[in-house]
Amino acid sequence: HARLLSQLNQDDLLHYGFIPEFIGRVPVIVALEPLTSEAMLRILTEPRNAVIKQYQKLLSLDHVDLEITQDGLEAIVERAMQAKTGARALRSIVEEVLLDVMYEVPAQEHIGRCIINAEVVQGRGYPILVPRTDFRRRLDEAV
Helix 51-60 to helix 88-104 angle (10° resolution) is 10
The reported pLDDT for the residue numbered 121 is 98
Contacts of 119 (CB under 8 A, 6+ apart): 125
Q: Give the confidence band of 141 by pLDDT, cuts at 50, 70, 90.
A: low
Cβ atoms of residues 136 and 112 within 8 Å: yes
Alpha helices per DSSP H over the chain: 2-6, 10-16, 20-24, 37-45, 51-60, 70-83, 88-104, 118-121, 134-142
Let me know whether 18 and 70 are in one domain.
no
Let me know whether 112 and 136 are in one domain.
yes
Q: Give the confidence band of 135 by pLDDT, cuts at 50, 70, 90.
A: very low
Cβ atoms of residues 50 and 94 within 8 Å: no
Let me know whether 59 and 13 are in one domain.
no
Structural domain of 3: 1-33
The model's pLDDT over 25-61, given as tens digits with 9 standing for 90+, comes to 988 888 888 899 999 999 999 999 999 999 999 999 9
- Count of CB atoms within 10 A of residue 126's CB? 11
The model's pLDDT over 72-111, given as tens digits with 9 standing for 90+, comes to 999 999 999 999 999 999 999 999 999 999 999 989 989 9
Let me know whether 56 and 77 are in one domain.
yes
Q: Give the confidence band of 140 by pLDDT, cuts at 50, 70, 90.
A: low
Instruction: Give the angle subtended at the CA of 40 by the CAs of 90 and 3, to the nearest 5°.
Output: 125
The reported pLDDT for the residue numbered 110 is 92
Let me know whether 92 and 71 are in one domain.
yes
The model's pLDDT over 30-40, given as tens digits with 9 standing for 90+, comes to 888 889 999 99
What's the domain count of the chain?
2
What is d(CA 16, CA 125) in angstroms, rounded to the nearest whole number? 47
